[in-house]
Amino acid sequence: MSAVGARELPGVRMWKRRLVQLLTYVGLAVIAIVMLYPFWSMGIASFRSLEQYQAGHGFSLASWKQLFHTLPVGHQLLSSAIVTVGAIAVILVVSTTAGYALGVLRYRFSTAVFLLIVSAMMVPMQSMILPVYVNLSRIGFINHYYGAILVYAALGAPFSTFLMTTYFRRMPEDVVEASLIDGLGYGKIFLRMMLPLALPAIFTVTVLQFIQIWDDLLVGLLFLQTPELRPITVGLATIPSQHLLDVPVLMAGSLMSALPAIVVYLVFQRYLITGLTMGMSK
């Protein structure tokens, strides 16, 4: 009996592995359905008029036509793109240079400065947004792109600097030492060596900040108040006040607003995963 049991043991293990794989795939399928169903529901609702949506059948482009009639969609998408790209550019300049200084140069009190930057991540945005609004209004930065760009850059820089510092600290020190021996200064080492090696982390910061800034509502609502300057998320927030309970129009706008962030994530997801994992291991 023991010999028979020993011969059956590998088969039992194989079936256990297959069962675990099957349960894993079933669980992932359930999660995928739960995550994708809202987008499916949004897409179906957006291609119906209000009457068709209430009746539960039929399709038309009336909601999309009403969306472009109600909002300056082109201007608001352009505003979202300008603010997002501008803020990400500032964040990348600040976070890469600061991360290089804190992670590679290691000057005196660098640890204290790094902890101070990390502590800035703990401050809720809602607690500082009112003083920031008052200060920027005094210098005329309200209702201008650069005001919103500076606010987003200030909010995103601490986390991005933390991520870049962690990434730079994980890089081999031999790279810097060999470059110094070859006669390169710290500036050229940063531009020629560190930035190309840090591309996964840069892509990670870009994707995370793009999703955060593109989907934000509060900053755009406060600092960009002209309809042509409003981001698309702020424009969508005004639809219920103009068309009461017009769900299909709202779903069409929400789908259009969500697509850029989804596309950016899908395109750069490989770099995102690489940047996060390489920052955790050496």
**Cβ atoms < 10 Å from Cβ of 158:** 21
How far apart CA 244 and CA 256 sit, in angstroms, is: 20
Give yes or no: residues 31 and 149 share one domain: no
| HSE toward the beta carbon, residue 49, CA cutoff 13 A | 7
Q: Which domain holds residue 38?
A: 2-46
pTM for the model: 0.83
- Residue 24: the pLDDT is 92
Give yes or no: residues 9 and 77 share one domain: no
List the Cα angle 9/12/13 in 5-degree steps.
Answer: 90
**DSSP string covering 129-182, please?**
HHHHHHHHHHTT-TTSHHHHHHHHHHHHHHHHHHHHHHHHHTS-HHHHHHHHHT
Give yes or no: residues 102 and 179 share one domain: yes
**Is 51 contained in some domain?**
no
With 0-12 CB in 10 A as exposed, 13-18 as middle and 19+ as buried, what is 227? middle
Q: CATH code at 213? A: 1.10.3720.10
How far apart CA 78 and CA 272 sit, in angstroms, is: 25
Residue whose pair of structure tokens reads 């981001």 in the numeric block: 231
Residue whose pair of structure tokens reads 């088969």 in the numeric block: 11
**Is 57 contained in some domain?**
no
Residue whose pair of structure tokens reads 């947004």 in the numeric block: 129
> First CA to last CA across the chain, in angstroms?
50
**Is 121 contained in some domain?**
yes
**Is 264 contained in some domain?**
yes
Q: Which of 162, 146, 163, 161 is nearest to 219 (CA)?
A: 146
**Is 78 contained in some domain?**
yes
Give yes or no: residues 18 and 85 share one domain: no
- Residue 127: the pLDDT is 82
How far apart CA 44 and CA 26 sit, in angstroms, is: 26
Contact assessment for residue 144 and residue 220, using Cβ atoms and an 8 Å cutoff: no
Give yes or no: residues 124 and 16 share one domain: no
Give yes or no: residues 86 and 165 share one domain: yes
Give yes or no: residues 78 and 211 share one domain: yes
Give yes or no: residues 16 and 150 share one domain: no
Contacts of 176 (CB under 8 A, 6+ apart): 104, 189, 193
Contacts of 248 (CB under 8 A, 6+ apart): 45, 46, 47, 48, 49, 50, 52, 53, 62, 63
Give yes or no: residues 143 and 239 share one domain: yes
Give yes or no: residues 99 and 203 share one domain: yes
- Residue 236: the pLDDT is 84
**Is 75 contained in some domain?**
yes
Give yes or no: residues 127 and 199 share one domain: yes
**Is 254 contained in some domain?**
yes
Q: What is the pLDDT along the chain (282 residues), one digit of tens a residue?
A: 455 455 556 667 788 888 888 899 999 999 989 988 888 888 898 888 888 888 878 888 888 888 888 888 888 899 999 999 999 999 999 999 999 888 888 777 888 888 888 888 888 888 888 889 999 889 888 888 999 999 999 999 999 999 998 888 887 777 777 877 877 787 888 888 888 888 888 988 999 999 999 989 889 888 988 877 889 888 888 776 555 567 888 888 888 888 888 888 888 877 776 666 665 444
- Residue 282: the pLDDT is 47
Exposed e or buried b per residue across 191-222, where buried means at least 16 C-beta atoms within 10 angstroms of its C-beta:
eebbeeebebbbbbbbbbbbbbbbbbeebbeb
**How far from chain centre, in Å, is Cα 159?**
12
How many domains is the chain built from? Answer: 2
How far apart CA 189 and CA 180 sit, in angstroms, is: 8
Give yes or no: residues 78 and 109 share one domain: yes
